[in-house]
Amino acid sequence: MITLALSKGRIFDETLPLLKAAGIEVLEDPEKSRKLILPTSHPGVRVVLVRASDVPTYVQYGGADLGVTGLDTLIEHGSLGLYQPLDLQIARCRVSVAVRSDFDYTSAVRQGSRLKVATKYVGIAREFFAAKGVHVDLIKLYGSMELAPLTGLADAIVDLVSTGNTLKANQLVEVERIMDISSRLVVNQAALKLKQQPIRRIIDAFAGAIGKN
Ligand code: PRT
Ligand code: MG
């Protein structure tokens, strides 16, 4: 049995066409079913639904053989024990710095002010500001980062942006782009050795379908 870890929402939705290219159809809709293990049209393949941030953990420890995860999540988790054969080019976005539209970020940086930065991406943020030589106090949040500058919790946030509509709706402006993000296929290294043929077949089918949607 091959187990593929996916998270509900955009990653699940955007992985479906890749699975289809591999001749695999998921037989239940995760938005309608309460099941966490979904059968597929292929008797040897099943999908497990986990939190987006738990996908690398499942694959690292062998709870799943493969998974699809955002590069953001993968960087924060670390890639120990994970083989990363493919950039699937799905769920694209970027990691950016954003501030309140009335906050003068450029001056604050130029003056060497200490910045309070709220983020779920503590690792990415720490490395980015260290490389710029900007002193930051990082505040770890698990969601709704946009609220932090509006309530005075932080001067800036480091968060994912795709259309920019969420920032705009909250009077925030993007002041730096840190990195471009897309989702990656991750594979458990031991599983790749033990179940080489069926896993290779999935990797190859995904590879052939990238960018075709
Ligand atoms: O929601 P939950 O806490 O369960 O987990 P999650 O937020 O990690 O999962 P999910 O499914 O929301 O995101 C999974 C992956 O999708 C992320 O790790 C990214 O790699 C990728 N992705 C692509 C995005 C976005 N685009 C995105 N726009 N993830 C989140 N967003 C959010 C962003 O955080 C912000 O709140 O959408 C909002 C901004 O969108 P725009 O279009 O208004 O700019
Ligand atoms: Mg989310």
Alpha-carbon gap, residue 35 to 50, rounded angstroms: 11
Express each pLDDT in 139-162 by its tens digit.
Answer: 999 999 999 999 999 999 999 999
Q: What is the three-state SS of 92-160?
A: CEEEEEEEECCCCHHHHHHCCCCEEEEECCHHHHHHHHHHHCCCEEEEECCCCCCHHHHHCCCCEEEEE
Express each pLDDT in 18-27 by its tens digit.
Answer: 999 999 999 9
Do 70 and 20 share a structural domain?
A: yes
Residues pairing with 93 in the sheet: 181
Query: Residue 40 carries which DSSP code?
Result: B
Alpha-carbon gap, residue 118 to 97, rounded angstroms: 10
Tell me the ligand closest to 94's alpha carbon.
1
| CA of 91, closest atom in ligand 1 | 23
- Most informative mutation of 10, 120, 181, 183 for ligand 1 (most atoms within 8 A of CB): 10
Domain range for 113 is 93-181
Residue 127 token pair: 């490395």
Query: Which pLDDT does position 213 carry in this prediction?
Result: 73
Query: Which pLDDT does position 155 carry in this prediction?
Result: 98
Do 6 and 77 share a structural domain?
A: yes
- CA-to-CA dists, residue 16 to 19, 47, 73, angstroms: 5, 11, 20
Query: Which pLDDT does position 121 carry in this prediction?
Result: 98
Residue nearest to atom 6 of ligand 1 (CA): 52
Query: Residue 211 carries which DSSP code?
Result: T
Query: Which pLDDT does position 98 carry in this prediction?
Result: 98
Residue nearest to atom 8 of ligand 1 (CA): 52
Query: Which pLDDT does position 162 carry in this prediction?
Result: 98
pLDDT in tens, the chain (213 residues): 999 999 999 999 999 999 999 999 999 999 999 999 999 999 999 999 999 999 999 999 999 999 999 999 999 999 999 999 999 999 999 999 999 999 999 999 999 999 999 999 999 999 999 999 999 999 999 999 999 999 999 999 999 999 999 999 999 999 999 999 999 999 999 999 999 999 999 999 999 999 987
Residue pointed to by tokens 């590879």? 207
Do 196 and 175 share a structural domain?
A: no
Tell me the ligand closest to 53's alpha carbon.
1
Alpha-carbon gap, residue 10 to 40, rounded angstroms: 19
Do 39 and 11 share a structural domain?
A: yes
Q: What are phi and psi of 210, to 5 degrees?
A: -60, 135
Among 141, 28, 93, which residue's Cα sits nearest to residue 6? 28
Give the chain's domain count.
2
Do 169 and 100 share a structural domain?
A: yes
3-state secondary structure of 2: strand
3-state secondary structure of 45: strand
Half-sphere exposure of 29 (CA within 13 A, CB side): 2
Residue pointed to by tokens 């960087």? 75
Residues pairing with 112 in the sheet: none
Do 102 and 164 share a structural domain?
A: yes
Residue 89 token pair: 């080019």
Q: Is 65 in the pocket of ligand 1 (CB under 6 A)?
A: no
Do 104 and 33 share a structural domain?
A: no
Q: CATH number for the domain including 16? A: 3.40.190.10
